Structure 1
Amino acid sequence: MKLARWITDSGNDGSVSEGFVIEDLLVSFPDGQTIADVLAGGLVEAHRLHERTNSAIGVPLSCARLLPPLIPSSVRDFVAFEEHVEGVSTVVDGKSEVVPEWYQAPTFYFTNPHTIRATGEEVRIPETERLDFELELAAVIGGVDGSDGENLDAVSAADHIFGYTIMNDWSARDLQAREMKVRLGPAKGKDFATTLGPWIVTADEFEPFTDDEGFLAIRAEAYVNGALIGADLMSNMGWTFPELVAYASRNSVVRAGDVLGSGTVGNGGCLAELWGRRGEFSPPPLQPGDEVRMVIEGVGEIVNRVGERVPAPPTEPARPRLRRRVREDA
């Protein structure tokens, strides 16, 4: 099953529709259900809802503009591909390596759920000279018997994976490099945009692609202006998606509507990896007018065009330490 959100070209009120993608039609959920409702109900209830959906009253995909397939309650992004870590580390901290700590446990950061973009949407450039993309697959969390996931093991965590969507973790590499030297981040270097889409494909659709260890043996590709930049298999992750979900829930909670990105695939899943390996900015950073297209087997594709640069107010440097720390009368 595929689930999507959209606005029709003929709609003048800007109202959002939510439902299933059935062949080349977009069909609204019955009873006014939303993506959030369906995720909370879980995969079994989603199949029951699908059976009650009347595909005869669908809207052609060609007559609609797709929106991000969900409004995430949170977005965690992992760094699960060893090859990516090795390549991009040169750009971030000046040397190519995979630190021993990477192998000990899957690492993630939280990114901004308020700057989610849709396929087809223009992504304007923030204050950066090194705009980059990151090709990822993301798991979307659903409810299980109406419950959140807390302190899950990998087996039970798999039940909380409702489905998958493509994720482009847009990155301002110069901002990222600066803030990570302060031992905090990435943050502002990732804060401006994340593309999710084109829809959510339910986890059961990927059972034929799952190997004996639980990895998804599906191909992921990234293109810039029609040229293939990088391609990898999702099965080259260091951990399976259920293991990522289990780690996220460790002494914490995963909830329906959460999104967990795999991290950037290797073999050219972003420009920074290639810059690190080649020792030069080749291919060059993204520029206004560039088109970034990502394709993942079994999911589909997302396409975004890079927009113009966005001016921002100046940032003041830190004040010097030579100032009074307490009141004189304290």
Structure 2
Amino acid sequence: MKKALIPVAIVLSLFLSLPAANAATDLPESHPFYEEIDYLMEKGVIESYPDGTVQPDAFVTRAEAAVMFGRLKGLSSTKRATAFRDVPAEHFASGSIAEAAKAGYILGFPDGTFRPDEPVNRGDLAVMIERFFGLNFIFHFGYKDVAEKAYFHDAVCRLAASSISYGYSDNTFRPHLQATRGEFSALLARALEPEFKNDVKIGRSYQRDKTKTYTYRHEDGQLAVDRFVSVPAVIGPGTEFVWETRIGDAAYPELEYENDELFANGFPYSEQSFYLAYPVQVGKKFTASDHSPGPDFNTITGVGETVETEYKTFTNAVEVTTQDGGKYYMVEGFALVKWIEADGTVSNELIDVE
């Protein structure tokens, strides 16, 4: 599958599917969300309309979202009475809406309506995705247009922590913008498949490829193997994707966080270690952790540095000097590749990527 570097998506259809995704008459391979839609069609989540279209650029409605969620969970779509006064039993999506509401994936409005034909905005879509996938991990991204008191604030931040959506390059999420079927498709595909999560990144990202395995050698000779896998959620039922480090028989979950201000990682629901501050500039100082007890600073001391690792020699590394005189090296697409303590001991080094 090829990828597109854009925020969100999904298409759904309410009728019989065509034999293959490329049979959709309005879905050229050049469409930004072609791969995501194709993936979901293969899984039977998206089906074409009778005229052979999937209408990827049309707005997705609340009823259509309920149908999509129902297909993913295998919920019954048999028409029936619902708890919403504007969704009669004869409505095409009544069964899906009733089942999704019963499961708690979608909610109605205080006036007893569901508003099935109303387009879904991006803020509401974030809440639906958070609830549907049971997202727990959170990273306060600091969007310019997402107030901390907004009902969708935590959901939007959880999408960022889960590499489902970082929003737009101007540090906005545009929560009131109506979502297209293609955008809805991208969100669903990214929640389901790590390969699509690789598309969720800022420009010149230091995040690692979530489809690869990274092996490091520690100071004591032990090997640490990092893979991006689905693990039981820390809070509540379900599973979530994290970087899992295995050292011998022990396994440790870890998350990578990135926005326009920094690159960090840390254990879920714990402190974050700040490895790089943006924009990358020699002389830039930044705190080493969000839980530093005092003035604990790292300083960017080199850009475009050459650093040798057992895996390969990098010529585009950023050198960071810690307060105690140690140095570590960050590379775009690889994150941390080497750490040298103040006494010259190599405490962490990348030795393989596959």
TM-score range, shorter chain: under 0.3
TM-score (norm 2): 0.22
Question: Which structure has the bigger radius of gyration?
Answer: 2
Task: Report 1 or 2 for greater relative contact order, CA contacts < 8 Å, sequence distance ≥ 6.
Answer: 1
TM-score (norm 1): 0.23
Larger relative helix fraction? 1
Larger relative strand fraction? 1
